[in-house]
Chain A
Amino acid sequence: MKTILYIIQKEFKQIFRNKGMLPIIFVLPLLQLVILSNAATFEVKHIKFGYIDNDHTSTSRALVEKFKASTYFDVLTDFPSEALASSAMLKGEVDVVLEIPHYFERDLQKEKYNTLGVTINAIDGAAAGVENVYVTQIVQRFNQNLKVELLQVSDQQIQPITIETIPLFWYNETLNYKTFMVPGILVLLVTMITLFLSGMNIVREKEIGTLEQINVTPIKKSQFIIGKLFPFWVIGMGLLTIGLILAKLIFNVPMLGSLPLMYLYTSIYILVILGIGLFISNFTETQQQAMFIAWFFTVIFILMSGLFTPIESMPKWAQLFTEFNPIKYFVEVMRMVMLKGSGFMDILPQLLKTLLYAITMNGLAVWSYKKIT
């Protein structure tokens, strides 16, 4: 026990003496939290909008007015021809082009049916999807109003049948993206920092040759590993604390659930990450190798965590893969506890899976760590 304490003490001394590392551990992650949480939004604003009005009637102008009234669209130009609109899109001057056909008003009144042409710049697929939704919403609302007017004129007996949906966004009523991004980004920084640091740490001893010196001492494998990894567990918990304080102070993210529960889950989660870090460092010879492998796994884990893209939209095999993604569980738990106020029983499945993961990963890491080569 005394030996472990001494190694921990030594490890902390080394961390705090490393002037290059300290800001990376404590300042960069927090900058990341502040910047990413403000920047990673799914809202698309200032869409450059152009239209080709072939109809020139009051109905077509009314439709264009709807777009002008929207805060999302910057209505730029009225293109006289489709060719000009296409070349403007090619130059990147417009993102969305709406083409109103000839006899739009007449056909709509006569046949109660018409089509509009919408061209969207889909170089950024995600943005194009969002823009399409905005356009559709505006056109639908316009069409409903139109129907009502037309029907009233032609036949008073038939009432328009429209079904409107009124969404209620539970646990995040205003769909404030920061509310769900901040817990997610908090997860990222706790994961990244602890994984990178623990992955590089033991390799560093290998690189400078101290590991060989340690290996000829009677120190036990378990003492050494615990002594090496415990400081990073503490740092991970520290980062969570600072992150939560910032989330409350800067972003005013609701914290409905219990804090001890969050800490309980995180304490087990960090064990998983430390296990992965140790595992990586057992199979690498230099810090550079360790860094690249850690980076590779973090990117995959992050992109498949459901943080930026919903897991439900992934193909079946990818969804299966996410079952082995520790970040996924952490993101889920953080959102559940912070936004929904979930209790111990609610997060029990995630907690058990993470615990199992922690035991497996650390078991593998300790097993593959050899004092004799």
Chain B
Amino acid sequence: MGITISNISKSYKNVKALQDISFDVKPGELFGLIGPDGAGKTTLFRILTTLLIANEGTATVVGFDVVADYKKIRNSVGYMPGKFSLYQDLTVEENLSFFATIFGTTIEENYDLIKDIYVQIEPFKDRRAGKLSGGMKQKLALCCALIHKPKVLFLDEPTTGVDPVSRKEFWDMLKRLQQKDITILVSTPYMDEAALCDRIALIQHGKILEIDTPQAIVKHYPKQIYNVRANNMYQLITSLNKYEHHHSVYPFGEFVHYTDNRADINPNDLILYLESNNLLDVEIAKTVATIEDTFMELAK
């Protein structure tokens, strides 16, 4: 009763947006679709929300086929597009009651579902939607997507362009919604948000790289990662890239995430090499892989 996707392909002229995508989202799951811009996330959302028809493959949402039963799907899903798309010249309350009405319901009927979120924007209910701050807009859009009590919620990059505090709040809200038996499919380009999902699919160039729980995905990472730090970041990266045994070098905050192509490595060799390249204060420490590391490794 969640979402099933089997062998979906979609191309725009000669661009292959999606290639043979298959995965399932279980009922009540918070599923993350993680990938960079242009990976095909929005295309997949548009197919699942019946706005686009796939070239090949089939998909079902809450048990209904996305092509044959599209009308039934529209009654039971909520969709929040990446771009803010509510009526900017209507007030918060008018937007909400508009969407309630076209779904044949009222705000009062499903108020308990949106209550947690709506109370935060209720003080501004007479303000025009266009005049709200970015975080407020997201909350309003979420309310509008929830007002008809959908079984499945599609959120296309809901936190892109939202400040870190609002992002965190937003994910807390999603967790609470999940407890109300709503299946959530969310896409995001932020790797740190992936860890908050039950399961994630890593997607790039229209292909699924891996699907698993965030913990398992990180465990699958085949190599030991080292945090390397020195006095000159730029020189450190160039030097590591020149090192004959290097496997991958990625800047990661104040460290460089380094992996070696040998199974066994003595960190002191690396320190000596770097110091011979005029780098000072070299530090090396083992660290655990993050989803970002996994993604970079898979996308290689």
Contacts and interface: CB of A to CB of B under 8 A. Distances in A.
A and B found bound together: yes
Interface of A: 2-3, 6-7, 10, 13-14, 17-18, 208-210, 212-219, 372-373
B79 A213 contact: yes
Interface in B74-103: 74-75, 77, 79, 81, 83-90, 94, 98-99, 101-103
A72 to B, nearest CB: 54
A334 B94 CA distance: 41
7 smallest A-B Cβ distances: which pairs? A209-B85, A6-B101, A216-B79, A218-B74, A218-B75, A219-B102, A209-B83
Query: Most chain-A CB neighbours within 10 Å: which of B53, B77, B90?
Result: B90
A14 B49 contact: no
Interface range on chain B (Cβ under 8 Å from partner): 20 to 34
Given A13-B94, A216-B77, A217-B103, A372 B87 contact: no
28 contacts: A2-B101, A3-B102, A7-B102, A10-B90, A10-B94, A10-B98, A13-B89, A13-B90, A13-B94, A14-B89, A208-B88, A209-B81, A209-B83, A209-B85, A210-B86, A210-B87, A212-B51, A213-B85, A215-B51, A216-B49, A216-B74, A217-B99, A217-B103, A218-B71, A372-B50, A372-B51, A372-B70, A373-B52
Given A7-B102, A212-B85, A372-B51, 4 more contacts: A13-B94, A210-B86, A216-B77, A373-B51
B104 interface: yes
A3 B101 contact: yes
Nearest to B103: A217
Contacts of A10: 87, 90, 94, 98
A210 B52 CA distance: 16
A217 B70 CA distance: 10
A67 to B, nearest CB: 63
Most B-side CB within 10 Å, residue of A10, A215, A216: A216
With a 10 A CB-CB cut-off, give which of A2, A3, A212, A218 has the most chain B CB atoms: A218
A324 to B, nearest CB: 35
Contacts of A212: 51, 81, 85
A1 to B, nearest CB: 12
A202 to B, nearest CB: 14
A224 to B, nearest CB: 9
Contacts of A214: 102
A243 B147 CA distance: 44
Contacts of B90: 10, 13-14
Contacts, number: 65
A10 B103 CA distance: 15
A148 to B, nearest CB: 77
Nearest to A211: B85
Contacts of A215: 51
A216 B102 CA distance: 11
B257 to A, nearest CB: 38
A18 B89 contact: yes
Contacts of B86: 210, 213
Contacts of A3: 101-102, 104
A331 B288 CA distance: 80
B108 to A, nearest CB: 16
A246 to B, nearest CB: 30
A216 to B, nearest CB: 4
A209 B82 CA distance: 10
Contacts of B89: 13-14, 17-18
B52 A217 contact: no
B102 A217 contact: yes
Contacts of B71: 218
Contacts of B79: 213, 216
Contacts of B144: 213
Nearest to A7: B102
B129 to A, nearest CB: 10
A372 B77 CA distance: 16
A212 B86 CA distance: 10
A208 B101 contact: no
A315 to B, nearest CB: 43
A13 B94 CA distance: 10
Point out which of A208, A219, A373 has the most chain B C-beta atoms below 10 A from its C-beta: A208
Interface string B97-136: 0110111100000000000000000000000000000000
Contacts of A7: 102
Residue among B49, B83, B87 having the largest count of chain A Cβ atoms under 10 Å: B87
B104 A218 contact: yes
A210 B104 CA distance: 18
B185 to A, nearest CB: 14
Contacts of A213: 79, 81, 85-86, 99, 144
A94 B197 CA distance: 86
A372 B53 contact: yes
A6 B51 contact: no
Interface in B46-79: 49-53, 70-71, 74-75, 77, 79
Contacts of B51: 212, 215-216, 372-373
B74 A210 contact: no
A217 B49 CA distance: 10
Nearest to B83: A209
A18 B99 CA distance: 21
A208 B130 CA distance: 11
A185 B84 CA distance: 42
Contacts of B49: 216
Interface centre among A7, A10, A13 (most CB of B within 10 A): A10
